[in-house]
Amino acid sequence: QLQLQESGPGLVKPSETLSLTCTVSGDSITTTTYYWAWIRQPPGEGLEWIGSIFYTGATYYNPSLKSRVTISKDTSENQFSLRLSSVAAADTAVYYCARHATHGWCDYWGQGTLVAVSS
């Protein structure tokens, strides 16, 4: 059974960089069939796609966040990671990692991790 688990600090100071890791079990992130994505949800709000990475290492990002986002992978650990720079209070959200198909639907999600941006 595929499982994804987010990990990282729950509190980040304004202007610093948010870093999260998603550990995947039950499937390899080198699969040629799926992408691996980060999606966030501010408290009480809707879902926002942040970006995705393919097994080749190719990435694509939400244009509204592109200048601040980096997604990378570590195939030896079967993990992929998110870095979001210059964070502000508006970046406070539950961050989810997920697997998604070429046509975009996310069939497996992590449980999510709340990251608060505050001094």
Partner 1 sequence: QSVLTQPPSVSAAPGQKVTISCSGSSSSIGSNYVSWYQQLPGTAPKLLIYETNNRPSGIPDRFSASKSGTSATLDISGLQTGDEADYYCGTWDSSLRAHVFGGGTKLTVL
Q: Which is nearer to partner 1, 14 or 45 (CB)?
A: 45
Among positions 16, 68, 78, 112, the unique one binding partner 1 when judged by CB under 8 A? 112
Instruction: Report in angstroms how near the CB of residue 103 gets to partner 1 at its nearest.
Output: 5
Instruction: Report in angstroms how near the CB of residue 110 gets to partner 1 at its nearest.
Output: 7
Rule CB under 8 A: is residue 21 a binding residue for partner 1? no
The sheet with strand 69-74 has its strands ordered as: 3-7, 18-25, 79-84, 69-74
Is residue 29 within 8 Å of residue 35, measured between CB atoms? no
| Mask for 39-78, x = binds partner 1 (CB under 8 A) | ------xxxxx--x-------x-xxx--------------
End-to-end CA distance of the chain: 39
Among positions 76, 90, 103, 118, the unique one binding partner 1 when judged by CB under 8 A? 103
Separation between Cα atoms, residue 109 and residue 73, nearest integer Å? 17
Closest CA to 34 of 112, 111, 98: 98
Size of the site for partner 1 (CB under 8 A): 23
